[in-house]
Amino acid sequence: MRRKLIAGNWKMNGLLADGVALAAGVAELAKPRSHKCDILICPPYTLLIETVRAVTGSSVAVGGQDCHAKVSGAHTGDVSAQMLTDLGCRYVILGHSERRADHGESDALIKAKAQSALAANLTPIVCVGETESQRDSGKTLEIVAGQLKGSLPDGGTAEKVVIAYEPVWAIGTGRTPTLDEVQEVHAMIRRESGLGQGLRILYGGSMKPSNAKELLALPDVDGGLIGGASLKVEDFWAIATACP
Ligand code: 13P
């Protein structure tokens, strides 16, 4: 039985006071440990250390939104996987479509980053997903399978790797694929990854309190990667408690 993971990707949002209040609010709700899922928040780098402090003593985990493939060196502006572990992070999001688009990240680079995450004892959340034109031309499965093949780390296991399926056209738009479409891609990811029944595959893209329950009930959806709705404690918590 796979335990679901509900992960908040705050993206480039939050100043110190708001970020700490949001993290503390989630930690407070998670305290009774009555929820049925693992909970993760991924704030921007500037809030990581205060977020780790704010959730200490709760069951909430903290993760980064990216890391460099190298351990250290002359890479101005970058942060290594080891630096994230050092702060108390347990996960790192890699290959988000916004990084693939804004920073030209390739599958090979994402794979190298995922390897560095594993070496630093972080769980990489490797993101894949098609654009709207790729879906319209019937290429979704082929595109996602290709991204998967190119960006999964060598030596990854179902326990140490998480995959997130995020259709680019569903991010921040309020639109989602149909439930059948989501399940079809997730089942393919499980098959093609070769990582088996223990692998957790998250869905991301306009997941919100009103649609979380049906998405999280799909057989191969093992959680959510939530953007906009993770910025409000009540919405994020409503999604977490929608886990069956
Ligand atoms: P939204 O939930 O805002 O659509 O963002 C999804 C996402 O990109 C999470 O990584």
Calculate how far, in angstroms, residue 205's C-alpha sits from the geometric centre of ligand 1: 5
Choice from 6, 10, 11, 97 to test ligand 1 binding pocket (greatest atom count within 8 A of CB): 11
Indicate if the pLDDT at residue 33 is higher than 90.
Answer: no
- Quick check: 191 pLDDT over 90? yes
What residues does each domain of the chain span? Answer: 22-67+78-232
Average pLDDT, integer, range 8-12:
98
| Percentage above 90 pLDDT, the chain | 97
What is this structure's pTM?
0.98
Tokens 């999964």 correspond to what residue?
A: 152
Q: What is the DSSP letter of 220?
A: T
Ligand 1 neighbours (beta carbon < 6 A): 9, 96, 166, 171-172, 204-207, 225-229
pLDDT at residue 1 is higher than 90: no
**If you classify domain 22-67+78-232 with CATH, what class do you get?**
alpha beta
pLDDT digits 0-9 by tens, 119-168: 999 999 999 999 999 999 999 999 999 999 999 999 999 999 999 999 99
Q: 115 near 147, Cβ under 8 Å?
A: no
In this prediction, residues 62-73 reach a mean pLDDT of 98
Contacts 24+ apart (CB under 8 A), 105-110: 106/150, 107/146, 107/147, 107/149, 107/150, 107/151, 108/150, 108/151, 109/69, 110/150, 110/151
| Residues 173-184 pLDDT 10s | 999 999 999 999
- Return all residues near 86 (Cβ < 8 A) that are at least 6 apart: none
Distance CA 97, CA 34 (A): 33
Report CA(81)–ligand 1 centroid distance (Å): 22
Cα 27 from Cα 178, distance rounded (Å): 32
Task: Tell me the per-residue pLDDT of 196-209, one tens digit each, with 9 for 90 and over.
Answer: 999 999 999 999 99
Take atom 2 of ligand 1 and give the residue whose Cα is closest.
227
- pLDDT band of 94, cuts 50, 70, 90: very high
Res 213: pLDDT: 98
Q: In whole angstroms, what is the distance from residue 177 CA to residue 169 CA?
A: 9
Burial state string for 34-73 with b = 16 or more CB within 10 A and e = fewer than 16: ebebbbbbbbbeebbebbbebbeebebbbbbbbbbbeeee
